Amino acid sequence: MTATKIAKKTISRVDPPRALAVDKSKYHQKRVAAYCRVSTDSEEQLTSYTTQKKVYTEMIASRPDWELAGIYADEGISGTRADKRPQFQKMIKDCYAGKIDYIVTKSVSRFARNTVDCLEHVRILKNRGIGVYFEEQNIDTLSIDSELYLVIYAGFAQSESESMSKNITWAYRKRFEDGKVMMQYKTTLGYKKGADGEPEIVPEEAEIVKRIYEMFLSGQTVRAISEKLQSEKIRVPGKKFTFSHSMVMRILRNEKYCGDSLLQKTITVDCISKTRRANMGEAPMYYVQNSHPAIISRETFQMAQVEIARRKALQPSVEKKASTAVGKYSRYALSEVLVCGECGSRYKRVTWSAGGKRIVWRCSNRLENGKKYCRTSPTLKEEELHAAIVRAINKFNSQDRSTYLELMKATICEAIGIKPNTEEIDELKRRIEALNKSMMDIVQQAVRNNEDMEDHESEFKEISDTILLFRKRISELEQIQTQDAAAADRMAQIQAIIDDRETHQDVYDDSIVRQMVECIKVFPDGRLEVYFGGGYCVEERI
């Protein structure tokens, strides 16, 4: 038997090779930045903000191994979102650019009140070898166990922010309950903050608001009003207004212009992302009448709301944008009244680009379906059509001036609601009587058949709700009637509008067509029949 010799196990230490690369950084000072933040603009907070900057400047300067890389400070900004803090974003960019080696800040809540934001930025910086030191918690993110503590403290900071948000929301709602109005003056045309802290009317801006309501109620579209104001290049000191379509519509819908305020229209759904949306019943709303000085009367505001609803109801219900789908209040007044004398279809405005840009009006039936369904309808050049309509209006004026003036006054008064329609009140009263009779018939029928009244509860409720709506509308119309004395003061203003139009007789005006013209029939021989209110007809040729 042969013995096997086992080799003795030996262990030798292998030292890492000595680096030969020159590392100049270890001979340099560490570039240290400080980050400060205060969340409000109060005097106390601003004092703290100034103190933080001074303390960090002195602290970094006192360390021989530290070099000041900058003081980054966000003033009067919440810490829940990093993307809303410009100085914080600048500091992170400078870290990416290799300008900062270390960051010092007072506490986790100063750095970020959002746990996700805090951890995300700390990890990114740590991967680049950049540490963050939180003084209050004594956490250095370059240490091994820092992240556990950081998660805990960041969670506390976010929880504190959420708690503060709830307290602020409660305070706002308490103010709403007490009817205290808050107004965003920078985005509200017509008002400024008065010496007593309450809304105060700015006369120059208020005139623009009144003008917008008058233009709208006289028949002009929101788009036309917007284009008119934009063309005038109106500038409001201290405020930036574009007078866009949406801005004009917001002004027309804003109850604050009649001196009332609807409070808590929107709610905050997430205090971290600051997401707000319309209040759809999640929280109570409060309507405060006479909360501040009014620029327009409440009646004018209500008439504007009725007019908005009326125009919306007259728009095409179909979503398909067919060339024949033309609403009552389309962009061009002629879209509402210009019809083909052969087939009865509406005319449509068309842009021809071949051989130079030209605007023409064509029968939509012939345009879509060809000559098979409309053989002889003419194509009208817009300039010639406008000129013919102007001649027809002037001919109407010369032939029967008294009727012309009465019609113009009547249409303007009707547009702005000075003379409410008494026939509508009578019709609504007749409908209420009929509904009351229907309810009595149901009761009598139930008694005869020995039925339980609860079986007809849904019918009673539907009839009652309808009657309530009719009575509300009657009340609105009667209220407008009682304002006839005040409305008389506006007749001079209406007369001024008429006089102004008299001086521009040769200029085509969409608003006159909207108010006075019921229909314009186009015939193959170029003849036009222009029908005004009441059926008065004037013939003209292209």
Predicted confidence (pLDDT) per residue in 383-422, tens digit? 999 999 999 988 888 887 777 777 777 666 655 555 544 5
Q: What is the dihedral of CA 435, 440, 446, 447, to 10 degrees?
A: 180
CA dist 422 to 76, 97, 358, Å? Answer: 58, 76, 46
The edge-to-edge listing of strands for the beta sheet with 537-541 is 338-340, 517-522, 527-532, 537-541
Is residue 80 within 8 A of residue 114, CB to CB? The reply is yes
pLDDT for 319: 42
Residue found under tokens 């030191």: 133
Residue 488 phi/psi, 5-degree rounding, is -60, -30
Residue 417, number of CB atoms within 10 A of its CB: 21
Predicted confidence (pLDDT) per residue in 254-296, tens digit? 888 998 887 766 656 444 445 566 666 556 676 778 888 999 9
Mean pLDDT, rounded, for 221-225? 90
By DSSP bridging, strand 66-75 and strand 30-38 are parallel
CA distance linking residue 101 with residue 66, whole number of Å: 10
Q: Which residues contact 375 (CB under 8 A, 6 or more apart)?
A: 342
CA distance linking residue 25 with residue 534, whole number of Å: 93
Predicted confidence (pLDDT) per residue in 431-449, tens digit? 787 788 887 887 778 777 7
Tokens, residue 190: 């017509």
Average pLDDT of the chain is 77
Q: Where are the alpha helices (DSSP H) in 184-297?
A: 203-217, 222-231, 245-253
Residue 145 phi/psi, 5-degree rounding, is -95, 15
Residue found under tokens 């292998």: 14
Task: Please determine, for residue 322, whether its predicted confidence score (pLDDT) is greater than 50.
Answer: no
Reduce the DSSP state of residue 422 to 3 states and report it. Answer: helix
Tokens, residue 174: 């308490």
Residue 137 half-sphere exposure toward CB, CA atoms < 13 A? 24
pLDDT for 490: 56
